[in-house]
A and B are shown apart, each in its own frame.
Chain A
Amino acid sequence: MIPDELNEMAEEHSQKQNSFAHRIHVCAAAGCRSSGGEKVASAFEDEIKERGQTEKIAVKRTGCMGLCAEGPMVIVYPDETIYGKVSPADVAEIIDSLDGSPVERLSLDSEMPFFSEQTQVVLENAGRTEPESLEDYIVAEGYSGLITAITEMTPDEVVNEMTKSGLRGRGGGGFPTGLKWSTVAKADGDKKYVVCNADEGDPGAFMDRSVLESDPHRIIEGMAIAAYAVGADHGYVYLRAEYPLAIERLKKAIRQAKRAGFLGTEICDTQFDFSIEIRLGAGAFVCGEETALMASIEGRRGQPRPRPPYPANYGLWGFPTLINNVETLGNVPTILRKGGEWFASIGTDDSKGTKVFALAGRIVNTGLVEVPMGITLREIIFDIGGGIPGGGNFKALQTGGPSGGCIPAQYLDMPVDYGSLAKVGSIMGSGGMIVMDDSSCMVDVAKYFMDFCRTESCGKCIPCRAGTPQMHKILTKITNGEATHRDLDILKDLCDLVENTSLCGLGQTSANPVKSTLKYFEEEYIAHIEQGECPAGVCKFKRTGEVINGCSS
């Protein structure tokens, strides 16, 4: 495809779209699907057909609209009326209202902070375009970043644009993306690879899944731009097998992109060749770690290896390999389109741009939000998130999954950026935010994460393989009311050992949930040990120290 053909296609498709008086967008992402979105979409289609209005009203299955808690979500264009909790029974009423005023009882206020306080870059198309339609993506200026890059810029210029944007990796580490790209670009090797890390293993995080389900072409475009910049001609998407819908949509998008000539050889009549293959994960959290991920793509056990050498120099089959997270790559097309400077104008000095967060746990508006870096936790949780349901008290926010920590109420006014989160003992991580209220026991939460690390440990290095089960055992003892202060000391000591001697990030960060809960909620540990009671009432012990429920391991 060449630029002119692209414009023509966009023109034609948008004319067709605009010929409809109303366009009804029904969320078809996994969240709304499981609350019945597909039934709503087909009910709309049936009803419209029955009324013979298929020329006038279009139904579109789109990507995630964000507010999964109100699913199934529906947005009617061009008026942008937002409806929540729509059932097939409401369909006729909504169609009746199209030329009049919206159905009051279902409509959500588009001025509510959940929608108005977001800044969408990666999610700019989510809920607006049809994920399975290449034309929709192109109307939304898709692939224009790639075309600009390969027809008007040198690879160096593309890398420079990334450096200028200040984008940092969204996969957890926060490594400057421009720097990583330039390292791979400079590395010598007659073959190079680009890998998209879509393993999204942090329990409680689902933004990568949502991006892939809602806007799969964006990731293809991001990877292609990256490949051009570093000199790679083959790419892999390492995608978890637990996300069947994302797999299906990405496969379809790859086929469409191939057919349209955005993948393959001599892309857009240039010398640039690039192809993408999907590799499925198989239920191992550690495979999100880059060296384990590469072992897995090579078909082996996902055991990490010491770095250096880094993948940028010595990656897949020994060749220089660029590994980026889904959300990182999702920012790339927009940066190329609007420029690095534009991107750098959003966010803070240390963290540019926006971040997608997955809100879950004890919060009213569970779902996905994209906000500028530097916004405060309070704004995210109480304005956008709508606060704690049922008048509970905010107790802690868990970020960064099993590698992160629990942040107590005193830091609610802290800005969200890489540095600030690290300062209070947590990490940005991939963007899962789990809100906890008084009904959560912090020792139990720490035990939960330790159990996670213990079962996800690859078993290669001693500290993580043998240390995490020891820590889990002590935490179990505490929640059973059988621990002593000596156990607590050994626990602290193990945290230090495992953190400093483990081979990979999994072991190195596995102590974070324990450390942060010990730092801010030590009195809960003490209450379990000294009084034999659980302040949150989660762990229930008999006097003999035997567990009744909740805390058995």
Chain B
Amino acid sequence: MPLKKTQPPSDDKRWKLINAAMRRHGYHRSALIEVLHAVQDAFGFLEDEALEYVADNLTLPPSMVYGVATFYHFFTLKPKGEHACVICTGTACYIKGAGDIIDEIQDKFGVGPGETSQDGKFSLLTARCVGACSLAPAVVYDGEVAGHQTPEDVIKTIQEWFGNDT
């Protein structure tokens, strides 16, 4: 374990959370994924400087940290939009028309899966089953799961995020 920890990249309070997560795991290398979760919870995505900071403190090679961050699809290296709309594309939701919902959003807003609208208002994401299969098709709006969604429902919610001016 290195004695001197590198300083956080900025005096942003959120680094305290990251430090706490690393301390909780004794700065052990195996904590990498847990710490990346903490970074994403705090900052919304994994910035390069955050990855470097974590690599330094856990004494991990940078390529290993980058390799882990890109292997797991839950992590994102790009900032997400203000709102997130996650369409479940698990089997149950697919059978019940999740594909149509995605097509409709793409048609209407020009935002595809994994993309963020130009003004940064919302990101369209997909998930492999959110565990609400009995309510298929399921959509998660900013963390809230909604069941039995139609393309119209989704468009409506997104329009509300835009303040109805689309």
Contact = CB atoms under 8 A, between A and B. Distances in A.
Contact between chain A and chain B defined by CB under 8 Å: yes
A20 interface: no
A69 B138 CA distance: 13
A68 B134 CA distance: 6
Given A203-B92, A204-B91, A358 B133 contact: yes
A546 B82 CA distance: 36
Given A209-B131, A358-B133, A361-B96, A301 B68 contact: yes
A242 B127 contact: yes
B72 A398 contact: no
A34 interface: yes
B88 to A, nearest CB: 8
A134 B88 CA distance: 33
A525 interface: no
A537 interface: no
Nearest to A358: B133
B95 A280 contact: no
Nearest to B60: A299
Contacts of B36: 282
A416 interface: no
Contacts of B145: 30, 33-34
Contacts of B74: 241-242, 281-284
Interface in A432-451: 432, 434, 436, 440, 445, 448-449
Interface stretch (B8-16, B26-34, B150-158): B26-34
A361 B96 CA distance: 7
A299 B91 contact: no
A73 B128 CA distance: 26
B138 A283 contact: no
Contact of B72 (A71, A302, A367): A302
B129 A440 contact: no
Nearest to B58: A299
B138 A34 contact: yes
B94 interface: yes
Given A34-B146, A298-B30, A360-B134, A283 B128 contact: yes
Nearest to A434: B91
A203 B90 contact: yes
Contacts of A204: 90-92, 129, 133
Interface in B35-90: 36-37, 64, 67-68, 71-75, 89-90
B37 A282 contact: yes
Given A298-B30, A359-B134, A434-B92, A35 B147 contact: yes
B160 interface: no
Given A69-B134, A279-B33, A362-B95, A285 B71 contact: no
B105 interface: no
Interface in B17-33: 29-33
B131 A243 contact: yes
Nearest to B36: A282
A520 interface: no
Contact of A398 (B30, B31, B34, B91): B91
Chain A interface size, under 10 / 10 to 19 / 20 to 34 / 35 or more: 35 or more
A242 B91 CA distance: 16
A205 interface: yes
A549 B95 contact: no
Interface in B106-140: 127-136, 138
Chain B interface size, under 10 / 10 to 19 / 20 to 34 / 35 or more: 35 or more
B129 to A, nearest CB: 4
Contacts of A51: none
A413 to B, nearest CB: 24
A34 B33 contact: no
Contacts of B93: 203
A34 B128 CA distance: 18
Interface string A290-332: 0000001111111000000000000000000000000000000
Given A241-B37, A283-B72, A299-B68, A31 B91 contact: no
B135 A282 contact: no
Given A279-B33, A360-B136, A549-B103, A205 B95 contact: no
Contacts of B75: 282-283
B16 to A, nearest CB: 20
Contacts of B133: 203-206, 358, 360, 366, 432, 434
A101 B131 CA distance: 36
B129 A203 contact: yes
Interface string A375-411: 0000000000000000000000010010000000000
B33 A282 contact: yes
A189 interface: no
Nearest to A243: B131
A244 B144 CA distance: 11
B149 to A, nearest CB: 10
Given A203-B129, A204-B90, A280 B37 contact: yes
Nearest to A66: B134
A285 B37 CA distance: 17
Contacts of A361: 91-92, 95-96, 136
A358 B90 CA distance: 13
Given A200-B131, A241-B37, A284-B74, 16 more contacts: A31-B135, A34-B144, A34-B147, A69-B135, A71-B135, A201-B128, A244-B143, A281-B72, A281-B74, A297-B30, A299-B33, A300-B68, A358-B134, A360-B91, A366-B136, A368-B134
Interface of B: 29-34, 36-37, 64, 67-68, 71-75, 89-96, 99, 103, 127-136, 138, 143-147
Closest 7 CB pairs of A and B: A203-B90, A283-B74, A282-B72, A68-B134, A366-B134, A360-B92, A299-B32
